[in-house]
Amino acid sequence: MSDHYQTLGVARDASAEEIKRAYRKKARTLHPDVNPSPEAAEEFKRVAHANDVLSDPEKRRIYDATGDENGQAGFGGGFGGGFGGAGGFGGFGDIFDAFFQGAGGQQGPKSRTRQGQDALITERISLQEAVFGTDKRITVDTAVTCPTCEGTCCQPGTHPEQCNACGGAGQVRQPIRSPLGTVMTVAPCHNCDGFGSVIKSPCQECYGQGRVRDKRQLNVKIPAGVRTGTRIRLSGQGEAGTAGGPNGDLYVETRVQNDPTFRRDGDDLHMVVRVPMVAASLGTTLKVDTFDGPQEVSVAPGTQSGQTRVVDGLGSGKLNSRDGARGNLVVHLEIETPTDLDDRQRDLLRELAQLRGESEHTGTAVSTTHERGQGGGFFSRLRDRFADQ
């Protein structure tokens, strides 16, 4: 007597779905139309019978308890009616599923309703808007629900009518002859394309699609800390679906413009402030304009060009921060050397040099890898480094 579990190649505790998959897999390779050999035909019978027993909960219970699903041990008695018997083979539905995997076998008519696609637009914002966040009124050119038919796809006052060819089922059954006899196949109805209904008076504005192209305005909240390439998702604000289907999502991608004064590095802002030579030598307090208004920056006596001062908390807002945390403002000091001296000023500088024991014809060499850098100087490299906001 053949063991049904071994025949299908499944474990004894296999689920109903595992048994069904195993049967389909074997049936597709052993069917007489695919494999006409006598050995394959015999194996096909055993596979079909094993599936018939194990897919029936009551037969399987009896088989597991006694080894005989019908009180007649062995292969022959249990198979009974051969291919033609619905009980012996598991039904024509199983045959159809095994070879066509349910193609065209959907239950009921398909829906015209489809979800709309996602949309992507780019919004340019200033660096200041990126630092603090902003609210924007944007215009979107996309698909919207047709205002004439309101997504029904039909002219006002009309509606879809049941398809006469399939009776509203969306499918038609056709008999085909096979070595197994006549088998009924199921295919989408050609008259209604499987919808089960036909639109005899489609909307003249949307041509039966239920949606049209149009421009609409939306409010979008851009959070603090966004960068170029940051995408903000607006759920359900994308393209309208067909036949009244739900909208897709809209993604707003930010593009941060360069600022003439500030450069951004992560969450920090950088700016360059020029300090007169005498002020840098003696020390002073400078007032600088920031995104937060005027701020005072102290310059210690003897400050050198390229040194920095850090002002805490005046940088960019941090994206997704719940406490409103911000980066810092880094002020780069550039010492200005006067170029328009008059005779009196030159004499005073020479006198200062003599008092300091300096000579206007000598100097101290520095390494070419000094922080002032190569090719264009430190501050030009700073501007290049933060060119992308």
Of 240, 249, 216, which Cα lies nearest the Cα of 153? 240
Is there a contact between 221 and 125 (Cβ–Cβ < 8 Å)? no
Q: How many CA atoms lie within 13 A of 78 on its CB side?
A: 29
List all residues 6 or more positions away from 97 whose beta carbon is below 8 Å from its beta carbon.
Answer: 24, 105
Does the annotation list 166 as a binding residue? yes
**Rounded Cα–Cα distance for residues 178 and 183 (Å):** 7
Does the annotation list 206 as a binding residue? yes
Is there a contact between 90 and 52 (Cβ–Cβ < 8 Å)? yes
**Rounded Cα–Cα distance for residues 153 and 205 (Å):** 9
Does the annotation list 192 as a binding residue? yes
Does the annotation list 153 as a binding residue? no
Give the pairing type, strands 197-198 and 181-188: unpaired
Is there a contact between 63 and 72 (Cβ–Cβ < 8 Å)? no
Is there a contact between 196 and 98 (Cβ–Cβ < 8 Å)? no
**Rounded Cα–Cα distance for residues 108 and 111 (Å):** 9
Does the annotation list 163 as a binding residue? yes
Binding residue positions for Zn(2+): 146, 149, 163, 166, 189, 192, 203, 206
Binding residue positions: 146, 149, 163, 166, 189, 192, 203, 206
